[in-house]
Structure formats: structure tokens, C-alpha cells
Amino acid sequence: MRLERYLVEQKIKVIIDDQIPHEARMDVRDIMRIGKKFFNLNKKQQEWVIAHEIGHWFRSKYVSLGEIMGWEEGENFWIFNPMNSEEGFADAFMYYLFDPNFFKKKHPERFKRMHGYVKNRNKYIKMVKDIMKETQ
């Protein structure tokens, strides 16, 4: 099974790739690979996975590594994944889209910062939905 779609507007190419062991993975910036495991998840879980991957894409596009580095263990953010700033950012992005109140309550300062990066939350929620459509 191999399917390729290009979301022109958002510049992310979605590839259904049954060779990868992950649910999904972001490749060199603009390619999102969706693996077999993805299809064992329920709709909501799938959306969260896609949001996490878009978080990686967003980070590489709009936020310098320097801005998120050093926010590992001890820095107390990315609370969501304290051992790895990249993964932590992707998780924070995912919460920003789908559970902003939890994020805000848990870490108001970082929430503000994420808000400053993202600005248009709905645009990225729509992006998740568009990618969901591509995978059905």
C-alpha cells in the first residue's frame, strides 16, 4: 500500500507507507509518512498523532532549535516530554491544538509562548482535518 498526496496549500506531502514502524513520522521537513499502526488507532488518536507530526514540521519551519533547546529536564518545560526538546515541542503543539486549557493551566508561560509562535490555532486544526481526509 503506497499512496501519495500533496497538500499544496500547506506544503506537506502525505505518504501512506507501510514500511515504517511508527504510526507516523515527519521526514525531511515536508513529507509526512503514515504507517500501518496509524490505522489501528481511533479517529481521535489519529488526529493527535497528526497534530504531533505537524508540530515537528512547524518547529522546523518557524521556531529555531535554539529557542527550544535547553528546555529539557530541569527547565521544566516541555513538561510533556522533559527528556527531548523536539518531542516535547511536538507534544506541546499537539496539546495547544487539542487541549489548550490543560496546557494553559499546566504551564501558562509556555502556553503564551506557543501562542506567540502559532497565532492561528484554527488554521492548524484545519490542517489536521485535511490530512485526516487524505488518509481515509
How would you write the chain as a 3-class SS string? CEEEEEECCCCEEEEEECCCCCCEEEECCCEEEECHHHHHCCHHHHHHHHHHHHHHHHHHHHCCHHHHCCCCCCCCCCCCCCCCHHHHHHHHHHHHHHCHHHHHHHCHHHHHHHHHHHCCHHHHHHHHHHHHHHHC
Q: How many residues of this chain bind Zn ion (CB under 5 A)? A: 2
Q: Is the CB of 8 or the CB of 64 nearer to Zn ion? A: 64
- Note whether 90 binds Zn ion by CB under 5 A: yes
Using CB under 5 A as the binding rule, the residues of this chain from 59 to 88 that contact Zn ion are 87
Which residue is nearest to Zn ion, using beta carbons? 90
Q: Is the CB of 89 or the CB of 111 nearer to Zn ion? A: 89
Shortest approach of Zn ion to residue 56 CB, angstroms?
A: 6
Q: Is the CB of 50 or the CB of 90 nearer to Zn ion? A: 90
